[in-house]
Amino acid sequence: MDEKYKITILYDATEDDERLKAEAEKRPYVQAPLQVAEALEKRGHTVKSVGVRKKIKILTDVIEKDDSDVIFNLCEDIANKSQHEHNVAGMLELYEKCFTGTGSAGYMLASDKALCKKVLQFHGIAYPRFCTFEKGRVDWSDKLEFPLIVKPLHEDASIGIDKGSVVHNVKELLERISYLHENFDGAALVEEFIDGREIYVGVIGNDKPEALPILEWDFSKVTDGPKIAGSEAKWDRDSEAFKAPEVFPEDIPAEVVKGIQNAAVTAYEALKVQGYGRVDMRLRKSGGSATAKNSPETKAPDAVKPPAEGKNADAARQAAEAKDSEWDYHVIEVNPNCWLEKRSEFAMAARKHGLSYPDLLERIIRLALARRTPREAK
């Protein structure tokens, strides 16, 4: 990118608080906005960073008066509450700002994990069968089979997911649902647990998105709990899961790799994600039976059967290929504007794809500039 731009980075100001706390305790803390700013400044761009706090009037004033060419939106939370991330994108849209990442519609569809799965079902993408438990109300499916995994419906970054999330009987299930209702503001999502491999597929692009190489968080040697990317894996430096390596798998057949990547792109487009995002999936060898059990044609709560045409037909063919080769894969969730730290899964996959960290950031900026409205382009 030869042209240089004025760039404003928006992020959750609680990251500053966490960094200062970590420095006082002499422990490491990685702050992605600082890395993004440093990389863009080295490329010659003029960069300023704005931390977002709970005083929304200040945020709206900042957005309204901002005169940068591009707002680099890293604001996944406001005061550590991810439920508000779509509101930041919505304000940027209302003020007709040029900003990176997905718009408010993509956030809304992807952040509601139950709604997300219903959209995936229509588009022929396999996902774990599920139900939701609101406080005082149950949306139950008697087709679910143990083991199950129980997680907050609207949280991300593995919040509310730990060793106790995988349950094997009704007693454990009810106890976990009660725990989430008491400690988190919202419903509990209950899914059939896919006992397989944790894989991530980065997707980048607007109208013609492309999938990045598949990355696996290899929990195969974890013995002290379920093989999941829970809070222990992300934050507990003494746990086996935290020490599990992230690798680019080489044992997955080419037709399955293609099917996984195409499914990730289809999910990305179906949920109206733009710019960049990461699709989290579970992969396993199954002999074919599990694919049939969890296929999109299986009726899910309040879901409709997908029409067998266009992209849905492609997805169905990919699922059939995976079944024939005794592999099946399920989309767990889609993360718009995923973490952009240098060592994040998305940045690792981009490097494998030939994009250095600064090149990746500039690619994201170009994608934001490419979808400016005529008024913004003036």
Q: Are residues 203 and 331 part of one domain?
A: yes
Q: Are residues 324 and 198 part of one domain?
A: yes
Residue 50 lies in a domain: yes
Q: Are residues 23 and 11 part of one domain?
A: yes
Q: CB-hemisphere CA count at 13 Å for 221? A: 8
| pLDDT the model gives residue 274 | 96
Q: Are residues 87 and 18 part of one domain?
A: yes
| pLDDT the model gives residue 141 | 61
Tokens (6 digits) for 278:
């990461």
Residue 223 lies in a domain: no
Strand arrangement, sheet containing 70-73: 46-52, 6-12, 70-73
Residue 342 lies in a domain: no
Q: Are residues 307 and 200 part of one domain?
A: yes
Which CATH number fits the domain that encloses residue 33?
Answer: 3.40.50
Token pair 């040697």 is found at: 221
| pLDDT the model gives residue 223 | 92
Mean pLDDT by runs of 10 across the 378 residues of the chain is: 90 86 83 95 97 84 95 82 79 95 94 91 94 76 86 81 94 94 88 96 96 97 91 87 95 95 97 97 71 36 40 55 72 94 96 98 97 54
| pLDDT the model gives residue 166 | 97
Verdict on whether the full-model pTM lies above 0.85: yes
| pLDDT the model gives residue 299 | 36
Considering its fold, how many domains does the chain have in total?
3
| pLDDT the model gives residue 142 | 61
Residue 235 lies in a domain: no
**Could you give the angle at which helices 254-270 and 310-324 cross, rounded to 10 degrees?**
150
Q: Are residues 12 and 58 part of one domain?
A: yes
| pLDDT the model gives residue 295 | 39
Q: Are residues 115 and 256 part of one domain?
A: yes
Q: Are residues 327 and 253 part of one domain?
A: yes
Q: Are residues 368 and 265 part of one domain?
A: no
| pLDDT the model gives residue 245 | 96
Residue 171 lies in a domain: yes
Token pair 């419906």 is found at: 153
Q: Are residues 204 and 329 part of one domain?
A: yes
| pLDDT the model gives residue 157 | 67
Which CATH number fits the domain that encloses residue 286?
Answer: 3.30.470.20
Q: Are residues 165 and 52 part of one domain?
A: no
| pLDDT the model gives residue 205 | 97
Q: Are residues 144 and 265 part of one domain?
A: no
| pLDDT the model gives residue 324 | 47
Which CATH number fits the domain that encloses residue 175?
Answer: 3.30.1490
Residue 240 lies in a domain: no
Residue 237 lies in a domain: no
Domain boundary among 146, 162, 192: 192
Residue 365 lies in a domain: yes
Q: Which domain holds residue 300?
A: 110-128+194-214+249-336
